[in-house]
Amino acid sequence: MFENFTLEFRGIWQAFTSYITELGQNPFKLLTLLLDLVIVIYIGYKFVKSARNSRVWQLLKGIILILIMVAISEVLQLRILNFILTVFMPYGVIALIVIFQPELRRMLEQLRC
């Protein structure tokens, strides 16, 4: 069970270290990485700031809980639960967009300002 996790972690670690050495050799990639991080952090900050004032915050907590459940079911090899959660996730995203369309529109309008 933990052997797969160890192998995956080693692969991720090797990819990370090779990426860091590549960044050291090419300063332009480091600059684009920093710019990318600043943009993503700013968008995330604005999203969380506007989400806290609406029903979307409860929705985000629920999505995080489902993602944690998927991770736990993967680690504990709960195959049926993992299958159900992963199969219905795409439909859940579409349903959430339809249900929370007014809040999403309001948040996007606030981001423009």
pTM of the predicted structure, to 2 decimals:
0.50
- Crossing angle of helices 101-112 and 79-99, rounded to 10°: 70
73 and 31 in one domain?
no
Query: What is the reported pLDDT for 41?
Result: 92
112 and 90 in one domain?
yes
Q: How many domains is the chain built from?
A: 2
78 and 24 in one domain?
no
Which tens digit of pLDDT belongs to each residue from 51-109? 776 667 777 777 788 888 888 888 888 888 888 888 887 887 787 777 777 777 777 77
The whole domain housing 77 covers 52-113
| DSSP calls for 6-49 | HHHHHHHHHHHHHHHHHHHH-HHHHHHHHHHHHHHHHHHHHHHH
- 75 CB-near residues (< 8 Å, 6+ apart): 1, 5
74 and 26 in one domain?
no
38 has a pLDDT exceeding 90: yes
113 and 71 in one domain?
yes
Confidence of residue 15 (pLDDT cuts 50, 70, 90): confident
- Residue 53: what are its φ and ψ, rounded to 5°? -95, 15
61 and 26 in one domain?
no
36 and 58 in one domain?
no
